Amino acid sequence: MIGGGAGGLVSAYIASAVKASVTLVEGHKMGGDCLNFGCVPSKALIRSAKLAKQLHKAGELGFTGTQGTVDFAAVMRRVHRVIADIAPHDSVERYTNLGVDVVQGHARITGPWSVEITRSDGSQQTLTTRNIVIAAGASPFVPPIPGIEQTGYLTSDTVWGLTELPRRLVVLGGGPIGSELAQSFARLGAMTTQVEMAERILVREDPEVSELVSASLRADGVDVLTGHQAVRAEVVDGEKRLIVRCGGVEKAIVFDALLCAVGRSARVSGYGLEELGIPLTPRKTIETNGYLQTLYPNIYAVGDVAGPFQFTHTAAHQAWYAAVNALFGRVKKFSVDYSVIPWATFTDPEVARVGLSETEAIEQGVPHEVTRYGIDDLDRAIADGTAHGFVKVLTVPGKDKILGVTIVGEHAGDLLAEYVLAMKHGLGLNKILGTIHTYPTLAEANKYAAGEWKRAHAPQTLLRWAQRFHAWERS
Reported as a single tens digit per residue, the pLDDT across 187-196 is: 999 999 999 9
As a whole number of angstroms, the distance between CA 185 and CA 200 comes to 20
What pLDDT, on a 0 to 100 scale, did the predictor assign at position 458?
Answer: 84
What pLDDT, on a 0 to 100 scale, did the predictor assign at position 278?
Answer: 97
In a domain, 462, yes or no: no
In a domain, 470, yes or no: no
In a domain, 339, yes or no: no
User: What is the mean predicted confidence (pLDDT) over 426-451?
Assistant: 98
Nearest 5°: phi and psi at 469? Answer: -60, -45
What pLDDT, on a 0 to 100 scale, did the predictor assign at position 464?
Answer: 86
Domain boundary among 275, 298, 328: 328
Tell whether 30 and 129 lie within a shared domain.
Answer: yes
Tell whether 132 and 274 lie within a shared domain.
Answer: yes
Q: 235 pairs with which residues across the strands? A: 240
What pLDDT, on a 0 to 100 scale, did the predictor assign at position 65?
Answer: 83
Tell whether 199 and 274 lie within a shared domain.
Answer: no
Instruction: Give the rounded distance of the alpha carbon of 80 from its chain centre.
Output: 20
Q: How many distinct helices (H) and strands (E) make up the chain?
A: 16, 21
Tell whether 359 and 434 lie within a shared domain.
Answer: yes
pLDDT in tens, 265-307: 999 999 999 999 999 999 999 999 999 999 999 999 999 999 9
As a whole number of angstroms, the distance between CA 259 and CA 256 comes to 10
Tell whether 127 and 273 lie within a shared domain.
Answer: yes
What pLDDT, on a 0 to 100 scale, did the predictor assign at position 175?
Answer: 97
Tell whether 48 and 182 lie within a shared domain.
Answer: no
Is a pLDDT exceeding 90 seen at residue 332?
yes
Give the whole-number percent of the chain exceeding pLDDT 70: 100
313-332 as b/e: b if 16+ CB within 10 A: ebbbbbbbbbbbbbbebeee
Cβ 114 vs Cβ 108: under 8 Å: no
Tell whether 361 and 274 lie within a shared domain.
Answer: no
Please provide the average confidence, as pLDDT, over all residues in the chain. Answer: 96
What pLDDT, on a 0 to 100 scale, did the predictor assign at position 135?
Answer: 97
Is a pLDDT exceeding 90 seen at residue 419?
yes
Tell whether 285 and 353 lie within a shared domain.
Answer: no
In a domain, 20, yes or no: yes
What pLDDT, on a 0 to 100 scale, did the predictor assign at position 463?
Answer: 78
In a domain, 103, yes or no: yes
Is a pLDDT exceeding 90 seen at residue 460?
no
What pLDDT, on a 0 to 100 scale, did the predictor assign at position 405?
Answer: 98
Tell whether 23 and 130 lie within a shared domain.
Answer: yes
- Residue 66's pLDDT band (cuts 50, 70, 90): confident
Residue span of the structural domain in which 412 resides: 349-456
Tell whether 107 and 175 lie within a shared domain.
Answer: no
Give the whole-number percent of the chain exceeding pLDDT 90: 93
What pLDDT, on a 0 to 100 scale, did the predictor assign at position 289?
Answer: 97
What pLDDT, on a 0 to 100 scale, did the predictor assign at position 426?
Answer: 97
As a whole number of angstroms, the distance between CA 437 and CA 445 comes to 9
Q: Cα separations (Å) of 309 from 7, 303, 425? A: 12, 8, 22
Tell whether 131 and 275 lie within a shared domain.
Answer: yes
pLDDT in tens, 186-221: 999 999 999 999 999 999 999 999 999 999 999 999
Which is it for the CA torsion 317, 318, 319, 323, positive or negative? positive
pLDDT in tens, 354-396: 999 999 999 999 999 999 999 999 999 999 999 999 999 999 9
Is a pLDDT exceeding 90 seen at residue 466?
no
Q: What's the domain count of the chain? A: 3
- Residue 351's pLDDT band (cuts 50, 70, 90): very high
pLDDT in tens, 135-164: 999 999 999 999 999 999 999 999 999 999
Cα angle 263-267-273, degrees, rounded to a multiple of 5: 145
Tell whether 117 and 172 lie within a shared domain.
Answer: no
Relative to beta strand 114-119, strand 249-255 is unpaired
**298: nearest Cα among 114, 101, 108:** 114
As a whole number of angstroms, the distance between CA 281 and CA 17 comes to 32
